[in-house]
Structures are given as structure tokens and as C-alpha cells.
Amino acid sequence: MKPAQLKIIQAVGDLAIPLLGYFFWNWDFYFILLFYILDLLVSSAFTFIKVHQVNKHRNTIHFSWKWLLLTILMVSVSFYLIFQAMPMIDPEFDFLRDTWNFLAYEEMGIAQGILLLPLLIYGGYMQYKMQFLMNGKFRAVSQEEVWKQHFTTLLLVLAITGIMLAVSTQVVFPHIVYILGLIFGATAYRFLVTR
């Protein structure tokens, strides 16, 4: 399969799952947001695996606690901003209840929390394998380039969550605006930049 075809298939998949969730499985904004949060966590984990592969290829074993701590800090601040904005966007939002509802939600008799995380990990692994290992990209990039892409993504997430919090203090849009903005924004970013 050609890289351009793979990119289009991945973009369609990126759009399909949350849109199906919203229109057919009654996912709300927080459900879809949690889907993207889990995806961000999986993506962050595979960044460390990519850096390890680059270092292994160059025979330099170098694990930087600085990058791990910076990743944890940026993801934590983003989550904090999201959870500050959620009660303004949805006055009925309850973190524990809604998170449990997400994990316990069943579709076709299968608990979503049990199925979704393995699917995200498998998707992350397949992307890593096809776009980083099989094409030999790990031979051509430096660990600095891998970190740069990772932190560009995290900075964008941090900026968007900050803007979302600032805007939600002044005006609250209908949920469909947040949902479509999140889905199409994340897909466009992945399609144009990260893949």
C-alpha cells in the first residue's frame, strides 16, 4: 500500500470512530475528549519507543528523564485545563461519574473501556511499525526530530486547551461545535503534520 493511500485510510479512520460514536452510540463531548486523551497517552508512549529505536540503531543508549518529566507536566497541565473548562461547557459534568460511564459504557455487549485501550495501543503499534520501522525512518531521523514533533503536538494541545478554557469562561457554544472542532481539528493536524 502506498504511503498516500495509507494516510487517507488513517484520516478516514480518525474521523469515523468519534463521528460514529457521536451520531450512533450517543457519545457526548466528554466521551470523545476521553477518546483523544487516551490516544494522546498512547502516542506519547510510542514517542519514547521511537526514541529508544533511534538510539538503539545509533548504539547510543540515552534515556532522558527531562523529556519524560516535561511530557508528564505538559499532559497534566492540559488535563487540568480541560477539567476546569468542562463544568462551564457542560454544567452537569461530573468527573468521576462521567469517566466511569465512559469506561463502563457497553456497545454490542462489550465494555468500551476493555476494548478501546487495546485498540488504541494496537493502532499506535501498527502506525509505529508501518511508518517508523518498516520504511526505515528510524535510520534517517534523530531523536531530536522525534522529540520536536512530540512536543509540537503537546504544545498545540496545551494551547488549544488554554484557549478552550478562556473562551468557555465568556461564551459556551453548542456541544456539536466543540465535538466537530475537536474531531476535524485533530484529524487535520494528524493528516497534515504528524503522519
Q: What does the pLDDT look like over 173-184, one tens digit per residue? A: 888 888 888 888
Per-residue confidence (pLDDT) for residue 6, from 0 to 100 = 65
**Contact call for residues 50 and 135 (beta carbons, < 8 A):** no
| CA dist., res. 21 & res. 31, Å (int) | 9
Write the DSSP string, 69-90.
HHHHHHHHHHHHHHHHHHHHH-
Helix or strand (DSSP H, E) at 106: strand 106-107
Mode of pairing for the β-strands spanning 106-107 and 110-111:
antiparallel
Domain limits for position 156:
3-194
Grid cell for residue 7: 494516510
Per-residue confidence (pLDDT) for residue 108, from 0 to 100 = 66
Task: Please give the backbone phi and psi of residue 107, each rounded to the nearest 5 degrees, phi first.
Answer: -130, 125
Closest CA to 71 of 43, 91, 92: 43
3-state secondary structure of 111: strand
3-state secondary structure of 107: strand
Per-residue confidence (pLDDT) for residue 106, from 0 to 100 = 75
Per-residue confidence (pLDDT) for residue 195, from 0 to 100 = 47
**Contact call for residues 89 and 181 (beta carbons, < 8 A):** no
Domain count within the chain:
1
Instruction: Mark the ranges of the chain whose per-residue pLDDT is less than 70.
Output: 1-7, 63, 107-108, 110, 112-113, 194-195
Per-residue confidence (pLDDT) for residue 69, from 0 to 100 = 92
